[in-house]
Chain A
Amino acid sequence: MSSPVTDIPVRGGNITAVPPLPDSERKPLTKKEMSADHPTWCPGCGDFSVLALYFKLIEKRKLWHEKITTIAGIGCSSRFPYFVQAHGVHYIHGRALPFASGVSLSRPDLHVFVFGGDGDAFSIGGNHFNHTARKNIKMTYVVMDNWVYGLTKKQTSPTSPPGFKSKTDTWGAVDQPINPMKQAIAAGATFVARTTHTNPNHVLQMMEAAMDHDGFGFIECLSECVEFYPGAFDSSNPRKGGAFNLVPETHDVTDEIAAYKLADEPFPGRFGIFYKADRPTKNKLEAGINAKAQEKVKGLKHWQILQQNFDRMK
């Protein structure tokens, strides 16, 4: 007894195909071509500069609309994909990384960018962060850390410093916050960097380095929530009388312990690449497993490979 197998949909439906245009004849995308919806962020929100620098990155590195995928979870910062004119996904709260992993692992031809907030990354998505990092799945992940829940209007976040008066800690936060740098290093991330939205050149520099890294590239980007945590990062902003200190030139980025120590410096701490390891990505390791498995079935059609299993079940 077999069940009726439904028709397979016509690929692409009734959509007109167009001839491909060779990349060599294409011009870098302009800001206009890259922007989609006008951002719904509050005027002055730090997230604007991250978006502007993403556009810069796309332009500078001649990335095409269709070659990148912008993925996010839920939060103010996670609205990102709506503002970018490219294939994008607005997924559910905290789970952008596993979704992005599914894209990354099945489509080596794409570059996957993930954007999100501190709650999305380290609270509801905390475990996914650890596992995506240790598996070293190739993608670039920018966490726009504002030390607060912005979208839900000022609750304590896992990065809120003790004493921060939120709607869920009106007397001041009491829980030990997560240190994103330490978390990333301990989880096994192979590229760990820190930047701040008030230093555009540095943000771009970090984004480029993360993108060029063959692996899970993580950037914590301080991004002020002017609405619910104004002034949070003033002490890291020279224009507000603070100090923007780079990672010392003598720092060895392959030294995990040194990176951990760097991450332990009190705020405003250091900015730059804390840690970088050359470890094979899951993408590569899986491709290796596949190459080995496919060697044994060389020349066979897929149905013939399956037939081998069925022959053993007779």
Chain B
Amino acid sequence: MSEATMTAPASGGRPKVSKISEAVIRIAGNSQDGIQAIGGFLARLAGRSEQEVMTSYEDHIKSLRKGGIVLFDSDHVQPKPEWQQEYRHLGVAISSMTVEAIGGTGKDKGKNMFVLGLVAKMFDLNVPKLEKLIGERFGGKDESILNNALTAFHAGYSHSLDNVLETFRFVEGQKRAGHQVVMTGNEALGYGLIAAGVRFGAGYPITPWSDIMELLRRELPKYGGTFVQCEDEIASISMALGASYAGRVAVTGSSGPGISLKTEALGYAVMAELPLVVIDVQRGGPSTGMPTSVEQSDLNIACFGGHGDSPRVVLAPANVEDCFYTAIEAVNIARKYSVPVVILTDQAIATRIEACEEPNLEKVCQDISPDLTPIADFKPYDLSASDGLTHHAPPGKRIASGKYPVVTGLEHDEMGHPTGSPKLHLAMNAKRRNKLRKLASELPVPQVYGPPEGNVLLVGWGSNQGPIREAVDRARAAGDSVSSLHIRYINPLPPGLENIFSGFNRVFVVELNDEGIYGYGQLAGLLRARYCDAKIQGINKTDGLTFKVKEILEQTRARLAAAKAQPATA
């Protein structure tokens, strides 16, 4: 979606109907106003919506293009005169008109439905479909709730938008194949874990991770599974590890502060070679930071957090749909490589509502219950295993030799018994490292978006994929040589990157974290360390919001100017 696709206002005469293919609708309000619900309805109707908590429109007006429309509640908001020059302000007495329609006070519910009606009118949206969605959402409860919602919606829809000089009509989008399902990134992760066969999880509440634990707590019992709310994050990862040890990959998760608490146990999982999935829904840090803002500043702790050499896997999904498949992939990597896998998602993906193609659940769902068939003999840390890949014998499994394994965090011999032998420490370090080298060799080479050679390569990860690709499209449309590369395997990195980088004069890593002391962010730091390539530079910001296409283009231009290279964009 783009912010520049609405056509310019026509002057005078009857309201004009402009055909558009995309629109960005930003909704600001107080947390009780139910603005999320508006986004949810629009996403179900149209395919995608993002959520940033916008409590004041002043903080967000910059993201509106010049001449864009500000539809505001004239009962409560006083627009700034200077902004009225730049944007078309359209005041509607949302609060009082909602009260007029359904009674109650201006603080009561219903304003969001009124606004949904206004938006539906403005964009000529499919009213019967929206009514059906409202019915699904509010039906079943007290009948008066549904009636009020529909009444407020129609009041908004029938409100005369005299001042709007144009309304918009979406051109028919291409019908996508198969069924579409609409969900948030957190939901996609939760359901992905269930599809992957995860039946145990443990966690401690923290925004924006809590949704996932709430979902698993609610859903797992249907599958005979359990999610435990623990006393803290250390207990959570420990309990999940206990369940993983007991034979089935388990999940824990948190956001920044809780991830910090989990690091000692995460190192244990690496040492003990226990499979585990750890979800980090990143938010603004450090410390309690910016709990409801997006940031990508946990890459370092995900890859390197903890003491000692503790190689683990880090995956970063790019969007809501990817969350579902990343969850399954994480579980399978954890099982195959007996290693903890961190899923590094972020607040933007977590709460964004997106439509995606419905997965074939019959095919995707897997059973990973433990195998308790007795075996003859067993070494938990067998050094002769190819590529260092060993798998634990879960408790309950009989071992005929009578020699049982100990799973341990002390450096150990092949049976899991402690050793101070330098030779064994070298060998076991190599085992743990080689498993990840093996994984790296099996990863697909990422695809360059745009031509594989050119002037600028924008490298991104996580939720930046969308705006980066849009930036590439726009830059290319303006005749500039810009391509992009999305990295979803953060640790280990996929093969072939060196080759890709060599096709470009400049490599800019676009990330939502600080440029640091040396002028580049966390993924850029990792890539520079890995490829010793000084042309890798950073495009960073930490304002708590996702990247705007405009920002990426401007910063790219600035970098190029600073480097005295040919400007990338006009």
Q: Is B37 an interface residue (CB 8 A)?
A: no
A3 CB-CB contact with B under 8 Å: yes
Q: In the assembled complex, how far is the CB of residue A79 from the closest CB belonging to chain B, in whole angstroms?
A: 8
Tell which of A8, A15, A86 has the most Cβ of chain B within 10 Å.
A15
Contact stretch, chosen from B332-340, B501-509, B533-541: B332-340
B402–A85 contact, CB under 8 A? yes
Given A103-B242, A131-B230, CB of A12 within 8 Å of CB of B375:
yes
Best-surrounded residue of B221, B241, B397, B410 (most CB of chain A within 10 A): B221
User: Which residue on chain A has the smallest CB distance to residue B180?
Assistant: A314
- 8 Å CB contact of B242 from A12, A82, A101, A307: A101
Complex partner residue of B365 from A91, A303, A314, CB under 8 angstroms:
A303
- Asked whether A5 and B396 contact (CB < 8 A) given A102-B200, A102-B242, A105-B200, the answer is no
Does the CB pair A4–B373 fall under 8 Å? no
With known contacts A18-B400, A103-B245, A302-B367, A81–B442 Cβ distance under 8 A? no
* Residue pair A8, B332 in contact (C-beta under 8 Å): yes
Contact A102 to B374, CB < 8 A, known contacts A4-B329, A302-B365, A306-B361 = no
Please tell me if the beta carbons of A293 and B231 are within 8 angstroms of each other in the complex. no
CB contacts (< 8 Å) of B230 on chain A: these are 98, 131
**Given contacts A92-B268, A95-B265, A12 and B200 within 8 Å (CB-CB):** no
A114 to B243, CA, bound (A): 15
Which residues of chain A in 49-82 are interfacial with respect to chain B, using CB atoms and an 8 Å cutoff?
Answer: 64-69, 71, 81-82
Cα distance, A67 to B395, chains bound together (Å): 7
Q: Which of B348-362 contact A (CB under 8 A)?
A: 358-359, 361-362
Residues of B contacting A15 in the complex (Cβ-Cβ under 8 angstroms): 375-378, 393
Q: Does B264 contact A (CB under 8 A)?
A: yes
Q: How far is the CA of A33 from the CA of B181 in the complex (A)?
A: 57
**Interface: B240 (CB within 8 A):** yes
Most buried by A among B180, B250, B365: B365
Q: Does B431 contact A (CB under 8 A)?
A: no
A24-68 interface bits toward B, Cβ cutoff 8 Å, 1 = contact, 0 = none: 000000000100110000000000000000000000000011111
Given A88-B406, A89-B245, A131-B235: A310 and B417 within 8 A (CB)? Answer: no
B398 contacts A65, C-beta separation under 8 Å? yes
Question: Does any Cβ of B come within 8 Å of A109's Cβ?
Answer: yes
Interchain Cβ contacts within 8 Å, total number: 247
A8 contact set on B, CB distance < 8 A: 332, 335-336, 366, 368
- A82 near B406: Cβ-Cβ < 8 Å: yes
B130 at the interface (CB under 8 A from A): no
Smallest Cβ distance from A85 to chain B, in angstroms? Answer: 6
B549 located at the interface, meaning its Cβ lies under 8 Å from any Cβ of chain A in the complex? no
Q: With a CB–CB cut-off of 8 A, which chain B residues contact A19?
A: 374
Q: Give the nearest-CB partner of A134 in chain B.
A: B231
Which residues on B sit within 8 Å (CB–CB) of A67?
Answer: 396
CA distance A102 to B409 in the complex (A): 17
Q: Do the beta carbons of B391 and A85 come within 8 Å of each other? A: no
* Nearest B-chain residue to A101, judged by Cβ: B239
Smallest Cβ-Cβ distance to A291: which chain B residue = B221
Which residues from chain A contact B358 at a C-beta distance below 8 Å?
310, 314
* CB-nearest residue of chain B to A14: B385
> Closest approach, in angstroms, between the C-beta of A105 and any C-beta of chain B?
6
Give how many A residues have a beta carbon under 8 Å from the other chain's beta carbons: 75
In the complex, what's the smallest C-beta–C-beta distance from A28 to chain B, in angstroms? 14
Please measure, in the bound complex, the distance between the C-alpha atom of A301 and the C-alpha atom of B444, giving whole angstroms.
33
Contacts of B181 in A (CB 8 A): 310, 313-314
Q: Which of A91, A105, A307 contacts B361 (CB 8 A)?
A: A307
Asked if B157 is at the interface of the complex by the 8 Å CB criterion, the answer is no
Q: Which residue of A lies closest to B242 (CB)?
A: A102
In this complex, what residue of A is CB-closest to B221?
A293
Task: For the complex, give the distance between the alpha carbons of A2 and B326 in Å.
Answer: 9
**Closest CB in chain B relative to A70 CB, distance in Å:** 9
Residue of A nearest to B328 (CB): A5
Q: Which of B183, B322, B333, B376 contacts A6 (CB 8 A)?
A: B333
A305 within 8 A of B: yes
Q: Contacts of B228 on A, CB cut-off 8 Å?
A: 101, 105
Q: Is the CB of B226 within 8 A of A286?
A: yes
Q: Inside 8 A of A102's CB, which chain B residues have their CB?
A: 200, 202, 238-246, 250
Residue A229 at the chain B interface, CB threshold 8 Å = no
Whether, in the assembled complex, B304 has its beta carbon less than 8 Å from a beta carbon of chain A, the answer is no
Q: Which residues of B contact A68 (CB under 8 A)?
A: 395
Q: Which single member of A20, A99, A290 contacts B224 (CB below 8 Å)?
A: A290
Interface residues of A in 286-304 (CB under 8 A from B): 286, 289-290, 292-294, 296-297, 301-304
* CB-CB under 8 A for A103 and B246, given A16-B376, A82-B417, A296-B222: yes
B392, closest chain A residue (CB): A87
Contact of B183 among A1, A18, A301, A313 (CB under 8 A): A313
Alpha-carbon distance between A296 and B219 when the two chains are bound, in angstroms? 12
B335 pairs with A5, CB closer than 8 A: no
Q: Enumerate chain A interface residues (CB-CB to B < 8 A).
A: 1-9, 11-13, 15-21, 33, 36-37, 64-69, 71, 81-82, 85-92, 95, 98-107, 109-110, 127-128, 130-131, 286, 289-290, 292-294, 296-297, 301-307, 309-310, 313-314
30 residue pairs from A and B, CB less than 8 Å apart: A6-B329, A9-B335, A12-B371, A12-B373, A12-B375, A15-B378, A19-B374, A21-B398, A65-B399, A66-B395, A71-B242, A87-B396, A89-B408, A90-B407, A91-B238, A92-B268, A98-B235, A99-B238, A101-B228, A102-B202, A102-B246, A127-B235, A290-B226, A303-B361, A303-B365, A305-B223, A306-B195, A314-B179, A314-B181, A314-B358
Nearest 3 pairs of A and B residues by beta carbon = A102-B242, A293-B221, A98-B238
